[in-house]
Amino acid sequence: MPNIERILVVEDDPTLCETLQFNLELEGYQADVAYSAEDALKLPLHTYSLILLDVMMGQMSGFALARQLKQDPATAKIPIIFCTARDNEDDMVRGLNIGADDYIYKPYSLRNVLTRIKAVLRRTAATADQSTEQTPVNNTEPKPNKEVLRAYGVEIDTRMKRCLVDGKEVKLVKKGI
């Protein structure tokens, strides 16, 4: 049986929580909701594949919760997407600097949120696959190619001067210096 990805929605608007939960479940995810950061902290957060997080909630803000999650080794690698009405650049930069993987302004379309969730999960799965690859056991095995850089779905081959994004080649232009 395939592993179903679990998503936690942390949002103080019950209608929005129910809408997100319903649509995430239609997409095949297991979705849970928490109506505050404090409620979220009572859950086994390390079991989630991704967290959708509002910024402006009760006593503890989404920023504070994200900071706490990123400082805990058990939850540090869980991707976070902020979905918030805080739509200024400073807040977006703050959220991304805390460690969020994406930042979506309200009002948003469900299609946009679902597409971004898929993109973040795809990126984090690719990163996890790369980190679990076997390292050479002895000096007779080939060493990893330092000329190929990989991160977040982007692969750059500096020797071949080639770039792939999510497996698709991006044409690079030559620019004289």
How far is residue 76's CA from residue 70's CA, in Å, rounded to a whole number?
4
Are the CB atoms for 158 and 149 separated by under 8 Å? yes
The DSSP bridge partners found for residue 154 are: 151, 165
pTM over 0.75: no
**Mind listing the pLDDT tens digit for each residue in 93-133?**
988 999 999 999 888 889 999 999 999 998 888 666 555 55
Q: Report the half-sphere exposure of 113 (CA within 13 A, side-chain side).
A: 26
**Mind listing the pLDDT tens digit for each residue in 31-80?**
999 999 999 999 999 999 999 999 998 899 999 999 999 999 999 999 99
Q: Which of 25, 21, 61 is nearest to 41 (CA)?
A: 61
pLDDT at 5: 92
pLDDT at 141: 42
